[in-house]
């Protein structure tokens, strides 16, 4: 279906819809394990983003293409474990490129980067990505205290545990347990 759409859109034209079709085609190839076809489709979509005149739309589509390339290489690791280091490095390259392009990184992208860094043994960077993810979700609120499991208001101050610095507890006087379930 996506291949028909590509044929019906004017190729070479800086059409955002054409880019979106290449991204969907790449994801479709990825879902069936056709890694080379997935990468080729995603790279084709990425190359077309250079001709988008509206910088905002172009950057948004570049970020999506780069994130999809990172996801493709990360998923390929499961199918080709003997190339895991090479594939994870490629995944990190594309995910970080997407991260640097987007001012507000998506939760999915932060978790992808955490997983990629963890695979390479860089637990510090993996921890930093998870921390950014958690900080972002806490700002969205409401938050749940990791100790008493009370739902805190969006504007409530959540304090970090002193040891792990990831799990959070509410600053309410009612939270009496004050022991970190993760540390």
Residue 34 covered by a domain: yes
Do 20 and 97 belong together in one domain? Answer: yes
Q: Range of 87's domain?
A: 2-103
3-state class (DSSP) for residue 63: helix
State how far the Cα of 45 lies from the Cα of 64, in Å rounded to an integer: 10
Task: Please tell me whether residues 34 and 88 are part of one structural domain.
Answer: yes
> Which residues have a Cβ under 8 Å from the Cβ of 125 and sit 6 or more positions away?
113, 114, 117
Shared domain check, 85 and 14: yes
Query: So what's the pLDDT on residue 182?
Result: 40
Q: How far is CA 112 from the centre of its chain?
A: 5
- Asked if the structure places residue 153 within a domain, the reply is yes
For the chain, the residue count is 183
Distance, in Å, from the CA atom of 45 to the CA atom of 51, rounded to the nearest integer, reads 11
Provide the number of structural domains found in the chain: 2
Q: Assess if residue 112 is contained within a domain.
A: no
Are residues 19 and 66 located together in one domain of the fold? Answer: yes
Same domain assignment for residues 86 and 171: no
pLDDT per 10-residue tile (average), the chain, 183 residues: 58 70 89 93 88 83 89 88 89 84 68 83 87 72 61 57 55 50 40
Give residue-wise pLDDT tens across range 107-133. 777 888 888 888 888 889 889 888 888
Q: For residues 92 and 22, what is the distance between their CA atoms, to the nearest angstrom?
A: 21
Is residue 176 one of the residues assigned to a domain?
yes
Q: What is the reported pLDDT for 2?
A: 59
**What is the structure's pLDDT at 42?**
92
| Residue finishing a domain among 103, 119, 149 | 103
Residues 64 and 6 grouped into a single domain? yes
Tally Cβ neighbours within 10 Å of residue 136. 14
Say what the pLDDT of residue 154 is: 53
From the DSSP assignment, how many helices (H) and strands (E) are in the chain?
A: 7, 4
Q: What is the pLDDT of residue 183?
A: 34
> CA 12 from chain center: how many Å?
29
Same domain, 35 and 91: yes
Residue 136 lies inside a defined structural domain of this protein: no
pTM above 0.85, yes or no: no
Domain assignment present for residue 92? The answer is yes
Peptide bond into 142 cis (omega under 30): yes
Residue 117 counted as domain residue: no
Is residue 10 domain-resident? yes
Q: Are residues 174 and 93 in the same domain?
A: no
The domain boundary, picked from 103, 123, 151, lies at 103
The answer to whether 102 and 63 have CB atoms below 8 angstroms apart is yes
């Amino acid at each position: 279906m996506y291949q028909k759409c590509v044929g019906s859109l004017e190729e070479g034209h800086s059409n955002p819809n054409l880019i979106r079709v290449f991204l969907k085609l790449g994801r479709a190839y990825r879902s069936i394990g056709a890694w080379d076809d997935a990468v080729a489709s995603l790279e084709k979509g990425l190359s077309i983003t250079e001709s988008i005149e509206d910088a905002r739309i172009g950057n948004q589509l570049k970020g999506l293409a780069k994130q999809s390339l990172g996801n493709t290489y990360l998923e390929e690791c499961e199918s080709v474990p003997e190339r895991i280091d090479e594939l994870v490095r490629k995944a990190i390259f594309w995910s970080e490129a997407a991260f640097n392009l987007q001012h507000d990184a998506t939760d999915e992208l932060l978790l992808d980067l955490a997983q990629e860094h963890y695979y390479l043994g860089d637990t510090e960077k993996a921890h930093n990505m998870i921390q950014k993810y958690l900080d972002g979700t806490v700002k969205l609120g409401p938050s749940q205290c990791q100790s008493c499991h009370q739902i805190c208001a969006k504007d409530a101050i959540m304090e970090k545990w002193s040891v792990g610095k990831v799990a959070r507890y509410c600053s309410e006087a009612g939270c009496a347990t004050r022991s970190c379930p993760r540390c």
